[in-house]
Amino acid sequence: MNTQKTFPLFLDFEGQHYVGTITPSEEVGKNNMPVYFRVMLGDAFYAYLCCSDHGWKERDKEGHPSGLIQAIGDYIADYYE
């Protein structure tokens, strides 16, 4: 993980406010986008996310709500635009 490129996460989703950090992997895929991202909510690890042709997904399939995964993924995509 490239901790020097960590960026903050501030997201409102379904009435909840989420604060955390997102750290990109050093491995880069198409469009110079990192292959996956480590998501921390507060001080706790949440998930590794990656973008596929079918939207955002958890790398390790932990079973987190897909709506929140998509919302965090959209936040990441907006950060890189």
Model confidence pLDDT, tens digit, residues 40-71:
999 999 999 998 777 899 988 878 889 999 99
Selection from 13, 1, 3 nearest residue 48 by Cα: 1
The span from the CA of 36 to the CA of 22, in Å, is 10
The span from the CA of 65 to the CA of 81, in Å, is 25
Domain containing residue 74: 3-80
Contact 24, 34 (CB under 8 A): yes
**Domains in the chain, number:** 1
Note the pTM of the prediction, 2 decimals. 0.90
Which residues share a beta bridge with 39? 22, 47
Percent of the chain with pLDDT over 90: 64
